[in-house]
Structure 1
Amino acid sequence: MEFCPKCNGIVFPTKDGILKCNNCGYSNELKEEDIGKFEFSKKIEATEETVKNLGEDIDMRSTITETCPECGHDEAYYELKQTRSADEAPTRIFTCAKCKHTWRAYH
């Protein structure tokens, strides 16, 4: 795999023996010894199934039993963030699993 010296994008070989960057347009002729080194066997298009396999529809956040102040649902996602100085407890940030309302608790 070759990279563009101008923008660091990937350069692709063309049928005329030129390496071309699709980002910035940089091009360079292939050297005689490099012809045949570059090969693409199949172009793969992203499909809806591919996106789902990447995990976009699976929520991997931690859950806890916590009542939402907006809708009363009893399950929330949570995360801990250090919003104050290091010698103080972290802030717990909750997001309702049902209505997506966000609130915080300082404990």
Structure 2
Amino acid sequence: MEFCPKCKSMMFPIEGSLKCKKCGYVKEKEEAPELVSKATREEREVTVLEGNIDEGLPTTKVKCPECDNTTAYWWLRQLRSADESETRFFKCTKCGYTWREYD
């Protein structure tokens, strides 16, 4: 994150440069740091649970789509940007099937 040297507002990347939306100051390409693009969902690998670490997780009443058991462990993971809600995951206490809740 970089701030405008004139008005101290946050600067935004626009076409390889940084621009202040408040006063219009532009930091040219040769001055601007290398901008990093966000990874797409396909490029990210999400680890849900490894091994047998589900002990101690809270449980809830929810129907397993694989075995129809009605109890599952649950946990939350932040998969998208911080301003979007977390994703809730479930793991069946009987068969171990793992799935996520979609809003």
TM-score category, normalised to shorter length: 0.3 to 0.5
TM-score normalised by structure 2 residue count: 0.46
Higher helix share: 1
Normalised to the residue count of structure 1, the TM-score between the two structures is: 0.44
